[in-house]
Structure 1
Amino acid sequence: MIAIDRLRKSKNRTRILRDVSFEARPGRVTGFLGPNGAGKTSTLRVLLGLDRPESGTALVNGRPYASWPRPLTMVGAVLDGSGAHRARSARAHLRWVAASNGLPRGRVGEVLDLVGLAGDARKRAGRFSLGMSRRLGLATAMLGDPPILVLDEPVNGLDPAGIRWIRDFLRTSAAEGRTVLLSSHLMGELAEIADDVVVIDHGQVVAHGTVAEVTGEHRTLEDAFFALTAEAGRTWPA
């Protein structure tokens, strides 16, 4: 479980997180939705111990991420690409990450199979397509078989086949009991994946609940989001 409670953070004297609070629960996909610059990535960076908030807490299974001795066995995260050096092969990258967390080398082959990259294990990361890089990032996140997955814009830029694959992967992960938190500004795609939705705008949560609850009386989730952020005058990408 992920518990975010009253996070506040400023950058260059500008408030970027304003008492952000929400939960992501096991067995469910929670979509963290907002325009570019709304505070999604900042929240995830605090959750993963990459940034410090001015106040508030961000906990994974009741503890800060940094306090877990082998974090990959608790949280699998993908924030920006695959994280692999362009000159390294997929297998070499995964072996290095596995060794850094004390994970068995045999797990590398298992996650390559899991994400459909077994046939490209020797290919250098710099030659990967965007979709393959996304899969390598997920393979890295799954090395420790974690109960929690955190993904930042996982479908951004993917073709329809890649989006379908990611969608199925995340739904399967939640069905297996994992907590899945993913950020996105793509409303239509998120509606196809998420069970629960947290809407953030200008660093503040403006709605949260199930997809049905957030949609409410509106025809679609997209219509609801436009209505929720209309006062702020934001234009959302298609």
Structure 2
Amino acid sequence: MITIDQLVKRRGSRTVLDNVGFTARPGRVTAFLGPNGAGKSSTLRILLGLDRADDGHALFDGRPYRTLPDPLRTVGSMLEGSGAHRSRTARNHLAWVARSNGIPRRRVAEVLAEVGLAADARVRVAKYSLGMGQRLGIAAALLGEPQILVLDEPVNGLDPEGIRWIRRLLRDHADAGGTVLLSSHLMTEVADVADDLVVIANGRIVTTGTVTEVTSGYADLEEAFFALTGVTR
């Protein structure tokens, strides 16, 4: 389980996160929705140990990320694309990531095939499209066969087939008992895969619940999103 407990983050006089709290449970896909600048990435950076909160906690099964003994075997994550150096090939990038966590090298070929990059494994990342870079980031997240996936805007740059593919991957992972937390500002791309929704605006959680609960009283998720966040169409 992922537990976000009353996170507070300030930058100067501005409060970026104001008592943000929610959970993401095993066997469920939890979509973390909000407009750009709402606080989604700041929350995930604290969760993954890349930033510090001024107050509150962000835990994986009761433990901060930095205390996990084999982090990539517990949590697979992607923030802001693949993170690969543009001069590296996909294969070399993943091989380095695997070595850093004691993951068998065979997993490199396996995840490249799983995300549809096997034919481009020896191509330098500089030549990748945005969608290919997203697939490489997801491949890195899958390397350690983790139970928990944390993905920031995973559908960015993906074509319609790529969006269908990521939906299937996330659904299959949750159905197998895994925990999935994905952030997005694109409501329609997550509506068909999410079980639970967490909506954030201006650094505050405005609602949580199942898709049915959050959209109750609205025509669809898009209408609910605009109404709850105050974003104009």
1:125 partner amino acid: V
Q: How does 1:113-152 map to 2 (within 5 A)?
A: 113-152=113-152
For residues 87-128 of structure 1, give each alpha carbon's deviation from its aligned partner in whole angstroms, at most 9, with x where no partner exists. Answer: 111111111000111111111111112112112111111111
Structure 1 residue 77, shift from structure 2 partner: 0.5
* 8 A contact 2:34–2:229 mirrored in 1: no
* 8 A contact 2:134–2:156 mirrored in 1: no
Q: How does 1:27-66 map to 2 (within 5 A)?
A: 27-66=27-66
**Structure-2 separation of matches of 1:119 and 1:20:** 42
Q: How does 1:48-197 map to 2 (within 5 A)?
A: 48-197=48-197
Partner of 1:19: 19
**Structure-2 separation of matches of 1:105 and 1:157:** 28
2:98 partner amino acid: A
**Is there any run of 5+ residues in structure 1 with no aligned partner, and where?**
none
Structure 1 residue 11, shift from structure 2 partner: 0.8
1:99 partner amino acid: R
**Structure-2 separation of matches of 1:33 and 1:86:** 30
3-state SS in 1 of match to 2:6: strand
- TM-score, structure 1 length as denominator? 0.95
**Structure-1 separation of matches of 2:189 and 2:110:** 28
For residues 132-156 of structure 1, give each alpha carbon's deviation from its aligned partner in whole angstroms, at most 9, with x where no partner exists. Answer: 1111111101111000000111112
3-state SS in 1 of match to 2:199: strand
**Structure-2 separation of matches of 1:110 and 1:61:** 27
Q: Provide the alpha-carbon RMSD of the alignment.
A: 1.1
Partner of 2:232: 235
**Structure-2 separation of matches of 1:62 and 1:91:** 34
1:159 partner amino acid: D
**Structure-2 separation of matches of 1:135 and 1:68:** 25
**Is there any run of 5+ residues in structure 2 with no aligned partner, and where?**
none
Q: What's the % identity of the aligned pairs? A: 64
**Structure-1 separation of matches of 2:109 and 2:229:** 45
**Structure-2 separation of matches of 1:167 and 1:131:** 15
**Structure-2 separation of matches of 1:98 and 1:12:** 38
3-state SS in 2 of match to 1:193: coil
Structure 1 residue 157, shift from structure 2 partner: 3.0
Partner of 1:10: 10
For residues 23-51 of structure 1, give each alpha carbon's deviation from its aligned partner in whole angstroms, at most 9, with x where no partner exists. Answer: 00111110000010000000000000001
Segments ≥4 residues shifted beyond 4 Å: none
Aligned length: 233
